[in-house]
């Protein structure tokens, strides 16, 4: 068979797999208002992960002390999602670790290192796919500027789903981007439902549909279709390039509220938005599906901080914000509000280096405010 024929064969297999994926998309939703026991999996990750997760674990135990004692909340530490173990086993998420993860309802996860080069997939991408965590939700708020944004980033398709499975012929490389009706409908529904339930009256769809006509064209069209069920909400659509400019335009940026966008644009623009808020260390991130949800810091494992001996100075605020999102997701809104209030009031400043406090000093003070 020629290389061209082999590539065509591979493409046909990818198409079949993607059609197959659509048929598994609708899972039953976990209802946390009635679930008698909620199991929270705690995953350290790499680099500064164990340090910031130690803080988050202490805070979680204090906030839900009674429920943990009564057994209605179970915290389960999950070992083995480390870069050393993953490389040794040659699996981005080792099978046994994945099984343990699947025995939980929600996860709080420290950052995991993605090896550069090679073929190993990012653990995040594997977990998002395996647990079907289709909505990546990232809030950004700057109250003094009237900014209260929330990004609904599609988290299981787009450029990511076949990101490590492109084809190469001599002198040519081709990657694939996938958009499905069902995959778009569920992220659009999540964004509009959020808007409706949280007093927001505007949803902005962001794509590059003038260029990516099939995939982003579909994304925009389906979002508009879903929007018809929410006539009280203003819906507009934008191209990603001008939207990145809008976010740094103080004259208009606080008029945006809810954003819904495909995976890669969502990845890029949420780093920009977090930076506007004060840095990627300040933003939390939720990966939500119908059955499972995973909450994490938006930043990475910071191997440079560890190499420079600054790990203890890592800022735990991002993972604590992720913890707030987790608590709200499992319907523990009172505990979430308590944590938000304490974080706002905490006078200890962590800067990520020796000019600021350590993560442990921050937590020590925070615990007195809870």
**Of residues 161-220, which lie at the interface with ligand IPM (CB under 6 A)?**
none
CA angle 281, 32, 327 (to 5 degrees): 25
Restricted to residues 158-187, the positions that interact with Mg ion (CB under 5 A) are none
H/E stretch holding 62: helix 49-63
**DSSP run (H or E) holding 140:** strand 135-142
Residues 115-154 that bind ligand IPM (CB under 6 A): 122, 124-125
Output 126 or 246, the one with its CB closest to ligand IPM: 126
Give dist(CA 345, CA 241) in Å, integer: 37
For the CB of residue 204, give the shortest distance to ligand IPM in the complex, in Å: 19
- Residue 213 vs residues 33, 186, 227: alpha-carbon distances, Å: 41, 20, 20
Compute the least distance from the CB of residue 44 to ligand IPM, in Å.
16
User: Considering CB distances under 5 to 8 angstroms, the limit depending on partner class, which of ligand IPM, Mg ion, none binds residue 287?
Assistant: none
Binding span for Mg ion by CB under 5 A among 37-45, 122-130, 263-271, 341-349? 263-271
Q: Which does 114 bind (CB under 5 to 8 A by kind): Mg ion, ligand IPM, none?
A: ligand IPM
CA dist 70 and 65 (Å) reads: 9
172: its two tokens? 């040519």
Integer Cα distance of 181 and 161 in angstroms: 15
125 binds, among ligand IPM, Mg ion, none (CB under 5 to 8 A by kind): ligand IPM
Which of Mg ion, ligand IPM, none is residue 315 near (CB under 5 to 8 Å by kind)? Answer: none
267 belongs to the binding site for ligand IPM (CB under 6 A): yes
Total residues at the site for Mg ion (CB under 5 A)? 1
- Residue 181, SS3 per DSSP: helix
Near ligand IPM in 18-77, by CB under 6 A: none
Phi and psi dihedrals of 156, rounded to 5? -125, -5
How far apart CA 128 and CA 99 sit, in angstroms, is 14
Chain-centroid distance, C-alpha 52: 17
CB of 366 to ligand IPM, least distance (A): 25
Pick what 223 binds: ligand IPM, Mg ion, none; C-beta below 5 to 8 Å, kind-dependent.
Answer: none
Q: Which positions from 73 to 92 touch Mg ion by CB under 5 A, shown as an x/- string?
A: --------------------
Among 82, 113, 114, 315, binds ligand IPM (CB under 6 A): 114
Identify the CA nearest to 43 among candidates 130, 123, 115, 120: 123
With contacts defined by CB under 5 A, name the span among 18-26, 264-272, 287-295, 362-370 that binds Mg ion. Answer: 264-272
**Residue placing its CB nearer to Mg ion in the complex, 187 or 227:** 187
d(CA 54, CA 57): 5
Contact range with Mg ion by CB under 5 A, out of 84-92, 132-140, 262-270, 352-360: 262-270
Q: Are 38 and 31 in contact (CB under 8 A)?
A: no
Rounded to whole angstroms, the Cα distance separating 324 from 332 reads 9
Closest CB to Mg ion: residue number? 267
**Binding-site member from 132, 216, 267, 296 for Mg ion (CB under 5 A):** 267
The residue among 154, 123, 121, 151 whose CA lies nearest residue 273 is: 151
**If you search the block for the tokens 């499975």, which residue do you land on?**
165
CA–CA dist 327, 365 (Å, integer) = 21
User: Do the Cβ atoms of 167 and 4 come closer than 8 Å?
Assistant: no
Question: Least CB distance from residue 197 to Mg ion, whole Å?
Answer: 26
Half-sphere exposure of 289 (CA within 13 A, CB side): 24
Judged by beta carbon distances under 5 to 8 A according to partner kind, the member of Mg ion, ligand IPM, none in contact with residue 164 is: none
Residue 179: name its binding partner from Mg ion, ligand IPM, none (Cβ under 5 to 8 Å by kind).
none
Nearer to ligand IPM, 45 or 311 (CB): 45
Quote the least distance from Cβ 157 to ligand IPM, whole Å. 12
* Site residues for Mg ion per CB under 5 A: 267
* Site residues for ligand IPM per CB under 6 A: 114, 122, 124-125, 267
């Amino acid at each position: 068979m020629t290389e061209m024929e082999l590539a065509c064969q591979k493409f046909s297999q990818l198409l079949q797999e993607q059609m197959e994926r659509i048929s598994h998309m609708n899972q039953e939703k976990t209802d946390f208002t009635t679930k008698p026991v909620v199991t929270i999996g705690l995953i350290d990750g790499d680099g500064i992960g164990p340090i910031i997760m130690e803080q988050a674990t202490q805070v979680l135990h204090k906030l839900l002390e009674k429920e943990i004692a009564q057994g209605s909340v179970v915290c389960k530490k999950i070992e083995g999602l480390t870069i050393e173990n993953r490389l040794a086993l040659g699996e981005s998420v080792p099978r046994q670790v994945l099984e343990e993860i699947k025995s939980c309802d929600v996860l709080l996860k420290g950052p995991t290192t993605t090896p550069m080069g090679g073929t190993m997939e990012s653990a995040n991408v594997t977990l998002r796919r395996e647990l079907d965590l289709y909505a990546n939700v990232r809030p950004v708020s700057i109250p003094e500027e009237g900014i209260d944004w929330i990004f609904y980033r599609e988290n299981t398709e787009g450029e990511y789903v076949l990101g490590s499975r492109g084809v190469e012929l001599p002198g040519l490389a081709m990657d694939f981007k996938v958009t499905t009706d069902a995959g778009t409908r569920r992220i659009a529904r999540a964004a509009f439902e959020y808007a409706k339930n949280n007093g927001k009256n505007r949803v902005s769809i962001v794509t590059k549909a003038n260029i990516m006509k099939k995939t982003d064209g579909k994304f925009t069209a389906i979002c508009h279709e879903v929007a018809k069920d929410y006539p009280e909400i203003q819906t507009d659509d934008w191209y990603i390039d001008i939207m990145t400019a809008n976010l740094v335009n103080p004259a208009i940026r606080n008029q945006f509220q809810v954003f819904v966008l495909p995976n890669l644009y969502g990845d890029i623009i949420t780093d920009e938005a977090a930076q506007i808020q004060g840095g990627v260390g300040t933003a939390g991130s939720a990966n939500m599906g119908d059955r499972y949800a995973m909450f994490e810091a938006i930043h990475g494992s910071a191997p440079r901080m560890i190499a420079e001996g600054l790990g203890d100075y890592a800022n735990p605020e991002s993972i604590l914000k992720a913890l707030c999102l987790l608590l709200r997701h499992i319907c523990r809104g009172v505990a979430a509000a308590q944590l938000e209030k304490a974080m706002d009031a905490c006078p200890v400043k962590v800067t990520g280096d020796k000019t600021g406090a350590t993560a442990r000093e921050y937590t020590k003070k925070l615990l007195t405010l809870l």
